[in-house]
Amino acid sequence: MLTSLKKQPADRIIGLSALYNADPRQEKIDLGVGVYKDAHGNTPIMRSIKKAESHLWKTESTKTYTSMTGDSGFHNAMADLVLADSVDRDRLSFCATPGGTGAIHHVLELVKLTGSNPKIWFSDPTWGNHLTIAKHLKMTVGKYSYFNNETRAVNFEAMVSDLSKISNGDIVVLHGCCHNPTGANLNNEQWNIIADLLLEKDAIPFIDIAYQGFGEGIEEDAFGTRLLASKFPEMFIAASCSKNFGIYRERCGIVITVSKNPDISSITQGNLSYVNRQNFSFPPDHGARLVTMVLTDPDLRADWVSELEQVRIGMLDARTHLAEALRKECNSNRFDFLEHHRGMFSRLGATEEQVNKLRDEFGIYMVFDSRLNIAGVTLDKVNTIAKAVIEVGI
């Protein structure tokens, strides 16, 4: 049987890590895989998480299952974080998942259970796994314009034009903040325009929010998600705790759905339980338990907010330093977009040939589409990166 399997295409971003790890050069620079790194190149465990983990180790008395969709304390804590009071709580349904990736998968499985066959619209570009998950589930996929490759900003006019042509009942996937891979984000006025347009089209928004707190701040980054939740009768949200809590390997995510009324919410909750049962029965709890403790304990939360803000400011500083270094190297402001982008990523605007040249000649690794992880831009390496970028002709 196994001899009939076909070779699957490798994930190019994960493959980049293997190339980097195999590179013997001491001065190599990793701007590729999407994990946060501090000034020393480490991905540290946050103080609040370590404190919560220590307390949990001392007080946890059982490892028995939680509910099929995870612990209700986690559901409520994440609803407070992502949605605040933007929507009545009895219209919400929840499902803890293995990371944000699991949440995206589960939302699309839930859509399939409805028996409808809507087109799933993704931004062009988007996180690569969005498309592969949807196609794996044999869903109909569309792309709407999002990024202007010349200005390195949101191509809002084209975005509105494309979304005005979608069909009623289609699902539109929007990045809640810190767009991956571009770093270009909607402002509040644009969020309002998109909300009105999707309401007019009777579309269903699906928010992927994986970097809350990395952009403008915890509350500010939730503006678009909360706006849509306050306006739409139905909505899907996939949230990840990997980045803003630094618990990547714990695989902690959640599906939150907004339904028209509590009765439909109850039915949706049962269907989310069914989806979990068919995939892995009970979701992981360790990461979710830590997140719940951090969000509900005033001291732990204050420590988390403070540390997350340090991370955010550090990435803004890295953007400023890199833009300044590039300005000096090329005698122009064509890289100033780096200072306007937010989040962990920016798309530099290089060809794949130039990206390969950066890797082969300078040991600088970034994703093939020239997405760079801004957290990898440390002060001691910023001039090296800037010189190499200009030297390869970007």
Dump pLDDT digits (tens) for 152-202: 999 999 999 999 999 999 999 999 999 999 999 999 999 999 999 999 999
Residue 11 has a pLDDT of 82
Give the pTM. Answer: 0.95
- pLDDT at 392 (0 to 100): 94
List Cα–Cα distances, 198 to 121, 166, 193, 228, 248, in angstroms.
Answer: 12, 9, 9, 10, 33
pLDDT the model gives residue 13: 82
pLDDT, residue 14, reads 82
Residue 40, exposed/middle/buried by CB under 10 A (0-12, 13-18, 19+)? Answer: exposed
pLDDT at 35: 86
Which residues of the chain carry a pLDDT beneath 70? none
Predicted confidence at residue 39, as pLDDT, reads 78
Contacts 24+ apart (CB under 8 A), 328-331: 328/386, 329/386, 329/387, 329/389, 329/390, 330/390
Domains and CATH numbers, the chain: 10-46+300-391 (3.90.1150.10), 65-296 (3.40.640.10)
The owner of tokens 């939730």 is 222
Residues taking part in catalysis: 127, 208, 210, 243
